Structure 1
């Protein structure tokens, strides 16, 4: 693939508190788990790290707390090659995600904390960073007003916008119509109010379907890009990995179908290790994987 894309991610930065167990506890029940880990996470940080590992020049815009987690996460992101000069420490707790991994799937509870400070005015102050990007990646673990402002700045400056609508919430029509690509999973897609804008949106939706791959519409025809078959250890971060792979491939000039295939390969490899960011592959690993499976 070609040039190094400039990707800006505006989004959440969390510490993931991961518990591995054979079964989920019932309400009021206490059970014993097998393992506990603290891993860097947050959908924004995940997508930034994944994009950097794939060779993009990545700027992350967000907030962490002035606590131990915040300091650790900034050091980690910097070590991964993510530019964190636009991540600010605020007087709040760093965001956390409590994740229970059971039977190769997961349940997640997010406490946003410092991520709630990524407001419209905060994002406006980062206007020049967004305007200088090739691709802007957004999610919904920060206030919606921050997402809207980032989209507004990007569209004023000809920047391609990818919105990963997770966790799903009611989205205004202007958000849906202004983005270039929407990347929901099947659960999120069902909750998107797109009927009034279906004609305009149908070419923007890149629907991720886990083991069934990815589908999208092109010239009124639904196309499906199959997933790669792989032994899954942990699906945490797979969606974030796909979004990063899709964004990097688009930024390098690939068409949508090739970008989806590349994103699928990135997502597949990300599931082979425990934790969101720990399993994210490099471009060299992805290319080797694609060559072996084709």
Structure 2
């Protein structure tokens, strides 16, 4: 079984369900509150692990109750935590408002995640022994740059979710093997409002790019050329929190099945992985929460049959 190293954030999500977002200065009543383990990194790690792949999580939590709960989740999901540091800072939190339509707004307080500015020896070792390195932008960019360099030196396939969007070093995106932004992120990164054109730009120089479009599917491109539009699976959304993270975790889990480190991913393999990930994320949005909404391999394959 191939190993997936996830270099990313681990947060506790503080989720309020409400009918609508309040106007500036307005107070409204919420319909419910819950705490759910999350963070883009941990979300993607759980999604991949729940789909049957070996996952190693690299990041940091605080020495507090939230940190203990996140570590317990990793243990329960079978996720290795060789590269998980205990930082002298509170565990990161995400403050999420979910409205009746299922859409959400999120404010992240980085906490311990901000302490991961350079790779530890344990994190570097975990990357070099893996087949895939999965990253997001909720950690400092300095450690992502180090992660990519370590991965490339070892022939490890790199995957980036460029969220939240922020200024990136020149050539950073081109150094990633696969970039998976949503439509808004792709437009911000490229200046192209057309997701097809944005995918073409992001996939230049032999990079894979998948621009996700929510209920409209996703655009798949490689080396400056769009290969096609993958349709979405129609469902009634309850909560879209972590839908994108479920997509990425499932995508990499599918690619990892039978993958030989250092080899190229074929168009057929990528399109099949996108199909698998589309089903996984469609299941997740029909349930509440982040990690709590993610499906198992059996659930995804039952729909694919």
TM-score bracket relative to the smaller structure: over 0.9
Point out where structure 2 has 5 or more consecutive residues left out of the alignment. 192-197, 260-267
Of the structure 1 ranges 200-209 and 231-240, higher mean CA displacement relative to structure 2 is found in: 200-209
Q: Distance in 2 between matches of 1:206 and 1:124?
A: 32
Identify if the C-alpha distance between structure 1 residues 48 and 116 changes in structure 2 by more than 3 Å, giving closer, same or farther: same
1:213-292 counterparts in 2 under 5 A? 213-218=217-222, 220-252=225-257, 253=259, 255-291=269-305
Q: TM-score, normalised by structure 2?
A: 0.90
1:141 aligns with 2:145: no
Report how far residue 128 of structure 1 moved: 1.3
Identify if the C-alpha distance between structure 1 residues 66 and 221 changes in structure 2 by more than 3 Å, giving closer, same or farther: closer
Q: TM-score, normalised by structure 1?
A: 0.93
Residue correspondences, number: 287
1:109 aligns with 2:107: yes
2:168 alignment partner, SS class: coil
Q: Can you list the C-alpha shifts for 1:49-100, whole angstroms capped at 9, x where unaligned?
A: 1110000000000000111111111111211111123211111010000000
Report how far residue 203 of structure 1 moved: 4.6
Report how far residue 131 of structure 1 moved: 0.5
2:123 to 114, 123, 126: 126
Identify if the C-alpha distance between structure 1 residues 221 and 112 changes in structure 2 by more than 3 Å, giving closer, same or farther: closer
Retained in 1: the 8 A contact 2:83–2:120? no
Report how far residue 173 of structure 1 moved: 2.7
Q: Which residue of 2 aligns with 1:192?
A: 189
1:75-94 counterparts in 2 under 5 A? 75-94=72-91
Q: Which residue of 2 aligns with 1:31?
A: 28
Q: Can you list the C-alpha shifts for 1:4-43, whole angstroms capped at 9, x where unaligned?
A: 3210000000000000000111111111110000000000
1:155 aligns with 2:160: no
The alignment's C-alpha RMSD in Å is 1.8
Report how far residue 199 of structure 1 moved: 6.8
Point out where structure 1 has 5 or more consecutive residues left out of the alignment. none
Report how far residue 225 of structure 1 moved: 0.7
Identify if the C-alpha distance between structure 1 residues 150 and 28 changes in structure 2 by more than 3 Å, giving closer, same or farther: same
Identify if the C-alpha distance between structure 1 residues 124 and 178 changes in structure 2 by more than 3 Å, giving closer, same or farther: farther
Report how far residue 222 of structure 1 moved: 4.0
Retained in 1: the 8 A contact 2:203–2:209? no
Retained in 2: the 8 A contact 1:123–1:146? no
Q: Distance in 2 between matches of 1:30 and 1:23?
A: 11
Q: Distance in 1 between matches of 2:60 and 2:202?
A: 35
Report how far residue 174 of structure 1 moved: 2.5
Retained in 2: the 8 A contact 1:124–1:149? no
1:192 alignment partner, SS class: helix
Retained in 1: the 8 A contact 2:173–2:202? no
1:205 alignment partner, SS class: strand
Report how far residue 217 of structure 1 moved: 2.2
